[in-house]
Structure 1
Amino acid sequence: MTEHPEQPTPPATPHRRLDATSLRGLAHPLRMQIFEVLNLDGPSTATRLAEQLGENTGTVSWHLRHLAEHGFIEEETGRGTKRERWWRRVPVANRLDTTDFRDDPASHGALTLYVHQVVQNSFNRVTSYLDQEWEDEWRDVGTVSDWSHLRLTPTQLKALNEEFEAVIARHTPGPDAEPDPDALPIVVQLQSFPRRAGGAE
């Protein structure tokens, strides 16, 4: 499971596999919301984040320091003042493999919270898109789709996901590419998982 895949990273970007300590450092609803905003919208301050998320500035500052201690974000040096620090996401692609925690009951709570919050964040992005007013040229090209009649083996499902990732990679511009002036940030969400048939145990 790749954490926050909505922000593609260049091939040269380092990767980090989340362990029990780093998972507990991130697995909090507000910390994950803060991390997502920094991931999607770029650097920000505690004050700006608090206004955006409807939280107390002191609370946001505490969670920012916690994220920094675990290496998820860092202060943007040379910007801001002593009283107003700017924070940005560390350019590392975080990867979480749920099988790493299969025999670690102490991490079960953090893992459950993390996975559920990832799904909640994805749901919130979809509902925000649907609730906002868009010009027809954008409304007509967005999609919220569901395919539920596939029957695949684990190997086939893995191959399907890898093909989707390859398509996204082909459409991801390089780090030096100049964006088209008409382009907007695009969110691509993919959920693919097995379903137990009705009555199955």
Structure 2
Amino acid sequence: MPEPEEFVSRSLDPRSLRGIAHPLRIQLLRSLRHHGPATASQLAERLGESSGATSYHLRQLAAHGFVEDDPTRGKGRERWWKPAHQGTSFGEELYKNPDPEVQGALDVVMHEVATIHTQELATWFATRRDWDESWYGAADMSDFTLHLPPEQLRELSAKLHELIDQYRVAADPEAPGAARVRMHLHAFPQHEE
């Protein structure tokens, strides 16, 4: 079994948050993380964009440290890109930042990530019959309603992240029947109706 690659996540600050807060940039980074290194032209075709737009936004992502050249690929002028990190996170200091630009950028990022999660779930629904039946009971779409103060929700989220990290470290992509599995974790307060 190959050694698992160390999972590196980048914590956003106000500058890097503004650098990624564009729908196409989020899609480009997602595509590189999920499908591996690619050229601007390949990404344009995959995402239904012009190569000029993907080139520009890849350069912007590079300027903010989200993507980098992949020197192991390409010949001549062909430029291949790869993600600089496997994940992105942001802490509560961004939620508390009073700058309207930061809040606007945070809104864009959160909305785009929620849209991606919805699309991924819809794709699973649409293609579930293409998968072996063993996946039917393994896949999960659950929701829970708890009554917790913020400190307990932080604790619960941290424990869930620790558990997921244990499976990430132990993952064997060569195991029989193994497939890439996406997990979405949403935890948020809700007003009583």
TM-score with structure 1 setting the length: 0.84
Contact 2:33 2:86 survives alignment (8 Å): no
Contact 1:74 1:89 survives alignment (8 Å): yes
Alignment partner of 2:103 out of 79, 87, 108: 108
Q: CA deviation at 1:9?
A: 7.2
RMSD between aligned residues: 2.2
Give the Cα separation in 1 of the matches to 2:119 and 2:158: 25
Structure 2 matches for 1:39-78, cutoff 5 A?
39-78=33-72
Q: Which residue of 1 aligns with 2:29?
A: 35
Q: Which residue of 2 aligns with 1:5?
A: none
Q: CA deviation at 1:182?
A: 2.3
Structure 2 matches for 1:37-186, cutoff 5 A?
37-91=31-85, 93-100=87-94, 101-132=96-127, 133-148=130-145, 150-173=146-169, 179-186=174-181
Task: From the two aligned structures, give the one with the greater helix fraction.
Answer: 2
Please give the secondary structure, in 2, of the residue aligned with 1:191: coil
Deviations 1:84-119 (CA, angstroms, capped at 9, x unpaired): 211100136433124335222232211111111111
Please give the secondary structure, in 1, of the residue aligned with 2:156: helix
Give the Cα separation in 1 of the matches to 2:121 and 2:87: 23
Unmatched segments (≥5 aa) in structure 2: none
Amino acid at match of 2:69: E
> CA, structure 1 residues 155+174, in 2 after alignment: closer, same or farther (shift >3 Å)?
same
Unmatched segments (≥5 aa) in structure 1: 1-7
Instruction: Tell me which moved more, 121-130 or 27-36.
Output: 121-130
Amino acid at match of 2:139: G
Give the Cα separation in 1 of the matches to 2:135 and 2:83: 28
Amino acid at match of 2:159: E
Contact 2:10 2:85 survives alignment (8 Å): no
Give the Cα separation in 2 of the matches to 1:116 and 1:178: 31
Give the Cα separation in 1 of the matches to 2:61 and 2:13: 15
Give the Cα separation in 2 of the matches to 1:151 and 1:43: 43
Contact 1:27 1:111 survives alignment (8 Å): yes
Q: Which residue of 2 aligns with 1:25?
A: 19
TM-score with structure 2 setting the length: 0.87
Contact 2:20 2:26 survives alignment (8 Å): yes
